[in-house]
Structure 1
Amino acid sequence: MTKKNLIALFSGAGGMDLGFKNAGFNILWACDFNKDAVNTYSKNIGNHIELVDITQVDSKDIPGDPYEVDVIIGGFPCQGFSIANTNRSMEDERNFLYLEMLRIIEDKKPKFFVAENVKGLISMQGGQVIKMIIDDFSRIGYSVDFRILNAANYGVPQARERVIIMGNRIGVKNTFPEPTHTALPKDYNLFSDTYDLQPHITVAETIGHLADVEIQNGKINEYIEVNKQKIFNHIASTTVHDKFFGRKFDVNQEEICDYLKEWRKISGWSTKRIDEHFGYKHTAGHWFRKDNKSGSIPKPSDWWELKKLLGFDDKYDEQVTTFIEKEIKFEQSLRITNWDRPSDTITATSPEIHVNRQRRLSGRECAMLQTFPNDFIFTGSLNSIYRQIGNAVPVLLAEQIAIKIIEQIESKEKVAIQI
């Protein structure tokens, strides 16, 4: 059978696209309007993606003639849906992005389409929004079904429920992948007569080997090596640090900066040389700032190493390096990740706190929980990387959806050949 052709809309960093590519699809064209996401996509998947406003794209300018595209995929934004306007014209800005996807599918007439969205789409406006979507796609010739799929049930180490809308115009059944994993105990073989499923993949199984690996914040090197593998994007937010393990004693930041500055002068070490020793880009300068109010205090591991270099006395050792666990108030933003089960949903904002309670999950750890491969490198700021990963469809889930679609297309083609 020939390779199937795909068009991807609202691709983001490319989680869904990569899953379909891994299943054997040839991606003709993809688009997104976020610059960092497009750069990430181009770096890892291919240059067939365009940084473009979908409303400015003519279907005729997208590769693939009508009826020749096998599948169109995309996760259209769900904000602003309204059923009050029964005409739902292209000028209605409240739902124009959904209509753009509908427009391109109507023009290209792919055999299948797949749309991914948040679970809440089904209950929006009392179920009328999902009914509107089904009606609209039915009107242009598609048989449409939807399912809520939990990524954890498909080998993804993350409890992520999303609605998958699937439609086809070739007269076959819309087939969704069957679960391969479930919340069985580790001794699940005892139930082998009843269950033919594997236990959910846990967070510890997925990212446990990075738990004691220092994050790369501020480091010159782009990656670290762990078990002879290059690990990129192992950078993380530490802004909540003092809410979990905080210094036991009050520390006067200005006093510490002045103290370190004097010892650096005595030692003869330059700030640049210290940065080079630690492998940092511009971090050491903050320890010796003239404007010490904007300076920073080294973390304990850096403090002890700095002491070896500068030879300072024991005056502040206990104050700087003694940490204790502080009370954790439960808030969404202060949630600690699971360890012995799949993670909660990886979001596009601040990720959960690592079980070591010293930082949030790193970009790489979030990517691994979304089943991106280790050599998939994200570009942009840390917040942008978190956003790209959190907005993505888990690669492994997308791949299993793609495999089912290929099976349906090829079964139809076999029947056509026999006839």
Structure 2
Amino acid sequence: MQYKIISLFSGGGGLDYGFEAAGFDTSVCIEMDKWSCRTLRHNRDWTVIEDRIENVSSKEILEKGKLKKGEASLLIGGPPCQPFSKSSYWFNGDTKRLNDPRANTLEHYMRVLNDTLPSAFVLENVFGLAYKGKDEGLQFLENALDLINKNNNVNYSFKWKVLNAADYGVPQIRERVFIVGHIDGKEFTFPPKSHFNPQKNSGQISIFDDLEPYTTAWDSIGDLDLVEKVPLKSEVGGKWGNLLPYIPPGENYLYHTERGEGSEIFKWRSRYWSFLLKLHPDRPSWTIQAQPGTSIGPFHWNNRRLTMREMARIQTFPDNVEILGGISNIQKQLGNAVPSALAEVLGKEILEQFFDKKNSSTITLIPNKKKRYKRIGFNNSIPNKYLEMSAVE
């Protein structure tokens, strides 16, 4: 049996590659970004509809995917999440959320679900969708699902959870909401964590838990140090870019504040957490961002921007996938993506729980552990030009 997918808001394909690894096959993708579409076509022979979701009818989706109503096994997608993102709070103190016109992507996701009636669905979004007391997005989706069930005499279930990708072997701290449902009311049980943070709770892990320590940035990209060709435009620019070598691995600008161990150059908590943020090889990466500013990381411990392959590795994309476009296009595709290994974990659980298909428990897209072969240091001799700016920023 083939397990067919309808993929909405496909981006560079993070969800799709993961579900592919689990045993699904994408029949049709809908994506508006031209570079994402070029990436999808370059790497796979999936049918790609390049347009805004509001311009694409459900009938066209079924026709292009060579599917009939009720024939798809799975509808997947991560509707653009700006109305619910943490950055909206940072800039505005709050966000318009459902009043934001960009939130109508949730409505179109549910419209396609109503019109195509797949056996199951997966919807991914930022964890801000489920903020306590500000969960109108979740409430909207539940209400829409009630209407779909009544209108079509079906019984889609609705189960959601915030997952941290690092807890499942992804070499990246990345929290997102996942909503999973089945047309006959089967309740999805989210898989238990497979990995733990050895820096925080190693003393609380029982020998019976059988958990692995977090996958690290070195596990993911350490081998690329020897073989990866680093683009000429990998340097960190802007006013503060040259300060990066004077920040230890795993630290950010806070190292150079009144509470840090460096020089008092910045005010405490005056910047984004990811400002001058540098990877530590023995820890997971922080979240790869879609549209970072000039000095927004995470950056490589070698004091440079991450390459396409390094970001793809951290997002656990298969190595046979190449992301097309310029620097900003590549960053956007990878920063918006769901880590493929996490999608593989969910895909295998969905096949077993909803389709009674037992799969190997091995997640193929999780990097293998790699022994570190060199010490990573930093320069603690701050240039005078930064010392002269001390405590003014």
Same-fold call, TM > 0.5? yes
For residue 204 of structure 1, report the CA deviation from its aligned partner.
1.7
User: Quick check: which has more Rg, 1 or 2?
Assistant: 1
Write the distance in 1 (CA, Å) between the matches of 2:344 and 2:17. 8
Is contact 2:27-2:47 (8 Å) kept? yes
1:190 and 1:387, CA in 2 relative to 1: closer, same or farther beyond 3 A? closer
Give SS of 1:407's match: helix
Is contact 1:16-1:395 (8 Å) kept? yes
Write the distance in 1 (CA, Å) between the matches of 2:265 and 2:211. 37
> 2:331 corresponds to which residue?
386
1:385 and 1:123, CA in 2 relative to 1: closer, same or farther beyond 3 A? same
> 2:76 corresponds to which residue?
73
Shifted more, 75-84 versus 54-63: the winner is 75-84
Q: CA RMSD in A?
A: 3.0
For residue 29 of structure 1, report the CA deviation from its aligned partner.
0.5
> 2:276 corresponds to which residue?
334
Is contact 1:337-1:343 (8 Å) kept? yes
1:131 aligns with 2:139: yes
Structure 2: gaps of 5 or more residues: 85-95, 150-155, 247-261, 358-393
1:409 aligns with 2:354: yes
For residue 236 of structure 1, report the CA deviation from its aligned partner.
3.2
Give SS of 1:40's match: helix
1:211 and 1:349, CA in 2 relative to 1: closer, same or farther beyond 3 A? farther
Q: Deviations over 1:48-71 (max 9, x none)?
A: 112112111111112321111111
> 1:100 corresponds to which residue?
108
Identity, in percent, stands at 37
> 1:15 corresponds to which residue?
14
1:339 and 1:136, CA in 2 relative to 1: closer, same or farther beyond 3 A? same
Relative to the length of structure 2, the TM-score reads 0.72
Q: Deviations over 1:110-130 (max 9, x none)?
A: 111101000111117622221
Write the distance in 2 (CA, Å) between the matches of 1:103 and 1:239. 44
Is contact 2:71-2:118 (8 Å) kept? yes
Write the distance in 2 (CA, Å) between the matches of 1:245 and 1:210. 20
Write the distance in 2 (CA, Å) between the matches of 1:84 and 1:409. 31
Aligned residues: 311
1:239 and 1:200, CA in 2 relative to 1: closer, same or farther beyond 3 A? same
Q: Deviations over 1:81-119 (max 9, x none)?
A: 76888xxxxxx9453211111111000011111010001
1:161-180 to 2 correspondences below 5 Å:
161-180=175-194
1:380 and 1:128, CA in 2 relative to 1: closer, same or farther beyond 3 A? same
1:3 aligns with 2:2: yes
> 1:149 corresponds to which residue?
163
Give SS of 1:374's match: coil
1:57 aligns with 2:65: no
Write the distance in 2 (CA, Å) between the matches of 1:348 and 1:137. 30
Q: Deviations over 1:285-339 (max 9, x none)?
A: xxxxxxxxxxxxxxxxxxxxxxxxxxxxxxxxxxxxxxxx998758433111232
Write the distance in 2 (CA, Å) between the matches of 1:164 and 1:128. 16
Give SS of 1:126's match: coil
- The one-letter code sitting in structure 2 at the alignment partner of 1:159 is I
Give SS of 1:349's match: coil
> 1:242 corresponds to which residue?
242
Write the distance in 1 (CA, Å) between the matches of 2:132 and 2:32. 26
Write the distance in 1 (CA, Å) between the matches of 2:109 and 2:165. 24
> 2:369 corresponds to which residue?
none
Write the distance in 1 (CA, Å) between the matches of 2:184 and 2:106. 23
Write the distance in 2 (CA, Å) between the matches of 1:5 and 1:51. 20
Write the distance in 2 (CA, Å) between the matches of 1:191 and 1:75. 33
Write the distance in 2 (CA, Å) between the matches of 1:99 and 1:199. 39
Is contact 1:236-1:363 (8 Å) kept? no
1:328 and 1:339, CA in 2 relative to 1: closer, same or farther beyond 3 A? farther
1:243-282 to 2 correspondences below 5 Å:
243-245=243-245
Picking from 106, 112, 127, the partner of 1:119 is 127
1:217 aligns with 2:163: no
1:47 and 1:122, CA in 2 relative to 1: closer, same or farther beyond 3 A? same
- The one-letter code sitting in structure 1 at the alignment partner of 2:81 is C
Is contact 1:244-1:327 (8 Å) kept? no
Is contact 2:4-2:73 (8 Å) kept? yes
1:150 and 1:172, CA in 2 relative to 1: closer, same or farther beyond 3 A? same
Write the distance in 2 (CA, Å) between the matches of 1:197 and 1:372. 23
Is contact 2:83-2:98 (8 Å) kept? no
Write the distance in 2 (CA, Å) between the matches of 1:132 and 1:51. 27
1:110 and 1:191, CA in 2 relative to 1: closer, same or farther beyond 3 A? closer
For residue 214 of structure 1, report the CA deviation from its aligned partner.
6.5
Structure 1: gaps of 5 or more residues: 86-91, 219-234, 247-324, 413-419
Write the distance in 2 (CA, Å) between the matches of 1:209 and 1:40. 25
Write the distance in 2 (CA, Å) between the matches of 1:143 and 1:339. 41
For residue 215 of structure 1, report the CA deviation from its aligned partner.
4.2
Relative to the length of structure 1, the TM-score reads 0.68
